[in-house]
Amino acid sequence: MTRAAQDSLVLLSRAFADQQAGRLDDAEAKYAQVYEIDASAIVPTVAWPHLPSNTRPAAESREVVVDQVVIGSCTNGRIEDLRIAAGILEGRKVHDRVRLIVIPATQDIYRQAMHEGLFDIFLDANAAVSTPTCGPCLGGHMGILAPGETAIATTNRNFVGRMGHTASKVYLASPAVAAASAVAGRIIGPKDL
């Protein structure tokens, strides 16, 4: 490791320790540049196969029929993500030909989601809830895509063969878009339900 890299790590470690000890807050922070973004102009987006950077608005993805939806794993399996998905699925059912797999990111999140009643919402919607696992995200087990199948997932990669057969397709989206798509059986945004 270079000396510059070591110095950077030391500075980051000190800043983290200061932040954890309450000695530094945003009011005291100095920024090289500040960007202001109008978040109201951001529309739900989907990453098309076979790169996370191959993005289009969800509204341009409505013709894509899905066989499987994966919400969670280590990416987008936070309690906030599960709450968003449950809010969309509550009182609704997963489309008859769609498999929905929900994977909390950690055991603590699993327990919290269970205690908050989120699992009841997922199960009532006909989803399968898993313990924390990489599972279908890396094509290891549970929800492996067959030739010609299409999934939309909240995971972080969608390259060829990532979730199963090389002739399958994986689209990436937020928990809100994924949950709405599970109900519709095709890719849609939550406002389209």
d(CA 178, CA 172): 8
For each of the domains in the chain, give its residue range(s) and CATH number, in order of start: 3-35 (no CATH), 41-192 (3.30.499.10)
Give 183's pLDDT tier (boundaries 50, 70, 90).
very high
Of the candidates 64, 68, 50, the one whose C-alpha atom is nearest the C-alpha of residue 149 is 68
Confidence of residue 177 (pLDDT cuts 50, 70, 90): very high
pLDDT of res. 60:
93
**Element (DSSP H or E) covering residue 153:** strand 150-153
Class of residue 181 by CB neighbours under 10 A (exposed 0-12, middle 13-18, buried 19+): buried
Between 126 and 166, residue with greater pLDDT: 126
- In a 3-state reduction of DSSP, which class is residue 100? strand
**177 vs 108: CA distance, rounded Å:** 25
Q: Is the pLDDT of residue 23 over 70?
A: no
* Spatial contact of 55 and 145, defined as CB atoms under 8 Å apart: no
Please give, one letter per residue, the 3-state secondary structure of 54-82: CEEEHHHHCCCECCEEEEECCCCCCHHHH
Instruction: Tell me the average pLDDT across 173-179.
Output: 96
Calpha distance 66→70 (Å, rounded): 11
* Nearest CA among 180, 126, 173 for reference residue 152: 173
Looking at the predicted structure, is the pLDDT value of residue 5 above 60?
no
Strand-by-strand arrangement of the 150-153 sheet: 55-57, 45-47, 169-172, 150-153, 68-72, 99-103, 128-129
pTM of the model: 0.80
Confidence band for 31, pLDDT divided at 50, 70 and 90: confident
